[in-house]
Chain A
Amino acid sequence: MKSRRLFAIVLKELRQLRRDRMTLAMIVGIPVMQLLLFGYAINFNLRGLSTGIADMANTAGSRALVMDMVATGVIAPTASARTPQELMELIRLGRISIGVVVPPDFERRLIDGREAVQVLVDGSDSNVQAAAAQLAQVPLQSQAFGSARAPAVSVVGFYNPERRTAVNIVPGLIGVILTMTMVLFTAVAIVRERERGNLELLIATPVTRSELMFGKVLPYVAIGLVQTTVVLLLGVWLFEVPIRGGVLDVYLAAVLLILANLTLGLLISTRAKSQFQAMQMSFFLFLPSIFLSGFMFPFAGMPMIMQWLAEVLPLTHFLRLIRGVMLRGAGLFELWPELLALVAFIVVMMTVAILGFRKRLD
């Protein structure tokens, strides 16, 4: 591998990138958009669920209970009804997500220790259901004990079963964003030149396969680091995400994930017949990464076979690294099995990509 030729390819890629406004905008745009979308959508508590209330008891106690529920902010009364049947009809029509039924014998039931209030839930949205389940319990207990100091109602982390908060999402988002953008960058890299006819010219020159492949990967490492920086800065500013470990460790972990994704993309690019096909293949790999890596759902809850599958994904290992470093303050090298897994992934992908690429048209 000659540095002169390698550098020529890197320079060429950067020059082309500089003129590709759409891609340039995406480099910063995607991390910002994703962070804002995921950061807010995933982390903030479910609030203002449209609610119908049928208070058939209409006593001081029942009114106080309803007020307590509304005070949590989780529900917002938008309709009133006289019977549970009316509430069910409103839910069916999608007018409300939650119905609160206070039966006429509310006080009696309280004294008897029976269930005093029924919360009807639009079960078609599992997150709403989870929120309502908690909502239904807490205020009732405080009423039952007749305590003046009702414990604050808190309904947290519905959307993510482990009840992680923004702090836990943002480090993972670095990985998700890098997985999303990096694979795509190199996935189209070779196949685009094939489509445009550049490749026939390139492979008729003395340029080697390794020079071509490394030349395609290196410029995007820099771009991945730019994205990492954007997410980190926004994460720290907007979501007050701590970086408990070393910043250098964070970047080192990011570089490994970037390389893993770029080499994976390169492999896709040497196999795909068209840019469209390359994008489809990238997307096909992107979804399992999001769902199986432990970003969305807890890893431990998955069946064994899915866990094994997840071990193949670079994002899985990166998440363990980055959460360890950023949140638990672990040193990168203390997490060496994950490091090793990423390095192995990179080496295998790059080797297969280079060996799979032929300087031939047939």
Chain B
Amino acid sequence: MSATTRDIAIRTRGLSKRFGALLAVDDVDLTVPRASVYGFLGPNGSGKSTTIRMLCGLLTPTSGDIVVLGLRIPEQAEALRLCIGYMTQRFSLFEDLSLRENLEFLAAVQGLPRRAARARVDALVVRFDFADREKQLAGTLSGGQKQRLALACAVIHEPELLFLDEPTSAVDPESRREFWETLFDLADAGTTILVSTHLMDEAERCHRIAILDHGALVADGTPRELAAALAGRTVEVVAALPRRAQQALAGVPGVLSVAQVGNNLRVLTAGGGDGSARIAAALKEAGLAAEVMASTPSMEDVFVAATHGRDTPGVRAA
């Protein structure tokens, strides 16, 4: 095994998927290091699920190469299935089986011997705090419980690589925090996790993220690197009439986006030149009193810059 397959869990080159006229995934080059939490950030329909399905061998790419855990996909998908866990976007466990029956079924299907399966199910029931719900039908669990059960089932065979497709979409913030703590435990234990999300705070937690927009990879790197690349391009505007100020800034050249946060405005500029000065001038011209100051780029800025600012120099950190 070469050095790359030891350090790299997933590598794609020129990965594309076309559904009829729609190019769902467009020439994606991806490198996911092992034992890390790698985030896929993108709006709905940006190709996150399609990419994950291709990586698991569930969809055949229209073109491009995929190597996952040293296996060529889709050709060696069957071998890959022994060492991956996959949590689908939609709850896909059996609602008419009890929580424990679901775990038992997955353990058996994943090929755990009987004795080991029983021990593993017992351990997961304790670890995921299901002790009083073992007999409950999965269909009657709450959103957060279903999601925990789905994760427990996905890791039942202790896979090397875990694909999670928007795992927290139907879950309250408290459950989301717990869920992410579990993910970091798994990553610490050596599991590589690829998780898709459309939530900024989740993306921020990842070791590395890739931003997808209309099927194309528009940014990737660590959250810190991506934010650093935006230094000087984010501006905070404190205005008495924030809505009016937002309207005034809408057409100003070099302004990529203006978002209201409380009474303030967060402005993302295209960079190059003095953005702040132009903003101040535009506000003055509109006769609006405002204070303009530089601010630290957030994940949302990174996302907006990557998805709206495709005509400007791309955000691509090493």
User: Cβ of A15 and Cβ of B106 under 8 Å apart?
Assistant: no
Complex Cα–Cα for A197 and B106 (A)? 15
Q: A2-B111, A204-B84 are in contact. Are A8 and B58 (CB under 8 A)?
A: no
Q: Are B92 and A206 in contact (CB under 8 A)?
A: no
A114: Cβ under 8 A from any B Cβ? no
- Known pairs A201-B86, A204-B86; A16 contacts B97 (CB<8 A): yes
Cα of A16 to Cα of B105 in the assembled complex, Å? 12
Among A12, A196, A197: residue with most chain B CB under 10 A: A12
Task: Map CB proximity to A onto B84-118 as digits: 1 under 8 Å, 0 otherwise.
Answer: 10101011111111000100111011110110000
Q: Given A200-B88, A200-B92, A15–B111 Cβ distance below 8 Å?
A: no
Q: Are B90 and A197 in contact (CB under 8 A)?
A: yes
- Complex CA distance for A20 and B92, rounded to whole angstroms: 18
The answer on a CB contact under 8 Å between A198 and B110 is no
In contact, B109 and A361 (Cβ under 8 angstroms): no
Report the nearest A residue to B60, measured CB to CB.
Answer: A362
* B176 touches A (CB below 8 Å): no
Interface residue? A19 (CB, 8 A): yes
Interface centre among B60, B78, B91, B108 (most CB of A within 10 A): B108
Interface 1/0s, chain B 33-60, versus A by CB < 8 A?
Answer: 0000000000000000000010011111
Q: Which single member of B82, B96, B108 contacts A20 (CB below 8 Å)?
A: B96
Chain B residue nearest in CB terms to A362: B59
Determine if A360 and B58 form an interchain contact, defined as CB atoms under 8 angstroms apart: yes
A4-B114, A206-B82 as given contacts; A361 in contact with B105, CB under 8 Å: no
A191 CB, nearest partner CB in chain B, Å: 15
B243 at the A/B interface (Cβ < 8 Å)? no
Q: Which of A1-46 contact B (CB under 8 A)?
A: 2, 4-5, 7-9, 11-12, 15-16, 19-20
Q: Is B310 an interface residue (CB 8 A)?
A: no
Interface contact B60-A16, CB-CB below 8 Å: no
Main SS of the interface on chain B? Answer: loop
In the complex, what's the smallest C-beta–C-beta distance from B51 to chain A, in angstroms? 13
Is A203 an interface position by the 8 A CB rule? yes
B-chain residues with CB within 8 Å of residue A4 when the two chains form the complex: 108, 111, 113-114
Q: A12, B58: Cβ atoms under 8 Å?
A: no
| A window 161-213: CB within 8 A of B | 196-207
How many chain-A residues does the 8 Å CB contact rule pick out?
A: 28
B88 and A201 within 8 A (CB): yes
Checking B88, B97, B110 against A206 with a beta-carbon cut-off of 8 angstroms, the contacting residue is B110
> Contact between B97 and A12 (Cβ–Cβ < 8 Å)?
yes
Chain B: which residue is nearest A201 at the CB level? B92
**Complex: A48 Cα to B58 Cα, angstroms:** 65
Q: Does B13 contact A (CB under 8 A)?
A: no
B60-100 near A? 1/0 per residue, CB < 8 Å: 10000000000000100110011010101011111111000
- B81 pairs with A12, CB closer than 8 A: no
A15 touches B101 (CB 8 A): yes
Cα–Cα distance between A8 and B121 once the two chains are bound (Å)? 15
> Which residue of A has the minimal Cβ distance to B112?
A4
Give the residues in chain A near B94, CB-CB below 8 Å: 12, 16, 198
| Chain A residues closer than 8 Å to B137, beta-carbon distance | 19
Q: Is the CB of B58 within 8 A of A206?
A: no
Q: How far is the CA of A360 from the CA of B60 in the complex (A)?
A: 8
In the complex, are the beta carbons of B114 and A198 less than 8 A apart?
no
Cβ-neighbour of B59 out of A5, A7, A360 (below 8 A): A360
Fill in one digit per residue for B274-307: 1 if any A CB lies within 8 Å of its CB, else 0.
Answer: 0000000000000000000000000000000000
CB 8 Å contact bits of A196-232 with B (1 = contact, 0 = none): 1111111111110000000000000000000000000
- List chain A positions with a Cβ less than 8 A from chain B: 2, 4-5, 7-9, 11-12, 15-16, 19-20, 196-207, 359-362
Q: Which residues of B pack against A, CB within 8 Å?
A: 53, 56-60, 74, 77-78, 81-82, 84, 86, 88, 90-97, 101, 104-106, 108-111, 113-114, 137, 153
What are 30 A-B interface contacts by the 8 Å CB criterion? A2-B111, A4-B108, A5-B108, A5-B109, A7-B108, A8-B104, A8-B105, A8-B109, A11-B105, A11-B108, A12-B97, A15-B97, A15-B101, A16-B94, A16-B97, A197-B90, A198-B94, A200-B58, A201-B92, A202-B109, A203-B58, A204-B81, A205-B106, A205-B109, A206-B78, A206-B110, A359-B77, A360-B59, A360-B74, A362-B60
